[in-house]
Amino acid sequence: MERINIATRSRTQAVDITAQVQEIVSRSPTKSGLVVVCSVHTTAGVTINENADPDVMSDVMEALARLVPRAGPYAHAEGNSDSHVKSSLVGSSVTVPVEDGELQLGTWQGIYFCEFDGPRRRRVLVQIIPGG
Ligand code: ZN
């Protein structure tokens, strides 16, 4: 298993980690199968969306902010309940097929780490599962 360390810079931020995941896949002896990309945090997530127009991910992050306001009412007293809810909405992992050492993403797709309670030091685990 490999890891990607990410230092986020603001409370909410979408970080394109496609190149780092591809780099891990490229140097793996496993050339085909699946790669699982997993955030190990409860106030962040991982998703796949368009990486051609950066406005798409800023729209996604702003839509999540409108859907899940920072001010409650919430029971969790830490002040970051919106971050926890967004983490569950986005999900904590994605799975991408790998063939010939290449991520099999669509033309416009990228893998994003989504920070919902930064700035923080974050960790994403990358596990390649061999397969035909
Ligand atoms: Zn909390």
Q: Rounded distance, CA 125 to CA 132, Å?
A: 22
CATH code of the domain containing 119: 2.60.120.460
H or E stretch including 86?
A: helix 81-90
Write out the residue range of the structural domain in which residue 94 sits: 2-130
- Give the Å distance between the CA of 81 and the centre of ligand 1: 6
Q: In which residue are the tokens 């991408």 written?
A: 96
For residue 72, report the distance from its CA to the centre of ligand 1, in Å.
13
For residue 83, how far is its CA from the centre of ligand 1 (angstroms)?
A: 8
What pTM does this model have?
A: 0.96
DSSP-derived letter for residue 107 is T
What total of structural domains would you count in the chain? 1
* 132 residues of the chain, pLDDT tens digit each: 999 999 999 999 999 999 999 999 999 999 999 999 999 999 999 999 999 999 999 999 999 999 999 998 999 999 999 999 999 999 999 999 999 999 999 999 999 999 999 999 999 999 999 997
Residues forming a β-bridge with 95: 36
How many angstroms is it from 82 CA to the middle of ligand 1? Answer: 9
